[in-house]
Amino acid sequence: MSQPGWYPDPYGTGSLRWWDGENWTERLNPEPDRPPRLPRRERPQDTGSAGGTHDAAPHAPTWDRAPSVPSLDVHVRGLRLHADDQGVAYGDVSLAWPYVEWVAYWAAERPAAPGHVPGTQWVFQAGRYPFRGGPRVEVVIEPGALPGRAAGPDGEPERVWGRLIQLCQEYAESRLVEELAARVRAGESIDVAQGLTVHPGGVRGDRVSLSWSSISTATVDRGRVWIQQAGGTAPILYVPQQNPNAVLIPALLARLKY
């Protein structure tokens, strides 16, 4: 797909997204006036099947218990992917968890294109600023990217992606959330996920401002992080899940709200 144009959104919003010839942009058509009502989330963190829901990787960190996620060592597209309590490495690029400054992960539906069949891609990124130009580890996992591996916890693309996210949550996200929360408590206004400003009085973004008392919850769903107003039936703010540190928003808001 090389020609700019409107195509079905690979991030699952149900709208069309503008492809500029090289990258997916933030332009949606149509852009909904208000996001749809969120479904309740009561399923377990791991659905156990690559054919299940595509946001099945765990979004609820387990920071208050002893780390228990085993290391990951597989080959993706012929390159070694290794992650443990020290860091993550893919091919010839590696990052230690203490030096990671932003993370992003999401599942995308890849549309059919010349030379490509439609299917799900599970994407994981971790890096240092600047976001465009700084060092990063980026892994795209999809059916066929793990040739020769039997089905099972280490052989299914979604399971590998979920394990990678669990390690990131254990060893990087807890630190990032605490560092961001400390800056806000100290009086700073910080930009999170390139679209949401978090400040001592609450949050603001997309011409909407919410105080801490008026925020109910934040939820990761359908490729976006949604923020819901207390007493409302639908979220009124969202940030694309692929933006740097968007996945930290639910935990960050919980740290600052209570």
Q: Are residues 143 and 52 in the same domain?
A: yes
Residue 191 belongs to some domain of the structure: yes
Establish if 76 belongs to a structural domain. Answer: yes
Taking residues 133-144, what's their average pLDDT?
90
pLDDT of residue 73: 93
Quick one: 202 and 230 in the same domain?
yes
Q: Could you tell me which residue, 156 or 186, shows the higher pLDDT?
A: 186
Q: Tell me, yes or no, whether 171 lies in a domain.
A: yes
Q: What is the DSSP string of 9-42?
A: -TTS-SSEEEE-SSSEEEEEESPPSSPPPPPP--
Q: Which of 88, 193, 85, 86 has its CA nearest to residue 138?
A: 88
Residue 205 has pLDDT above 50, yes or no: yes
pLDDT at 158: 82
Q: Is position 217 within any domain?
A: yes
Q: Which residue range(s) make up the domain with 18?
A: 1-31
Q: What is the mean pLDDT of residues 208-220?
A: 91
Is residue 88 within 8 Å of residue 255, measured between CB atoms? no
Same domain, 83 and 169: yes
Tell me the pTM: 0.72
Instruction: Let me know whether 167 and 201 are in one domain.
Output: no
Q: Is pLDDT above 90 for 66?
A: no
* Domain-located, residue 36: no
Residues 54 and 158 in one domain: yes
Same domain, 162 and 243: no
Structural domains of the chain, count: 3
For residue 44, pLDDT beyond 50: no
Does residue 39 lie within any of the structural domains?
Answer: no
* In a domain? residue 102: yes
Query: Do residues 201 and 162 both lie within one domain?
Result: no
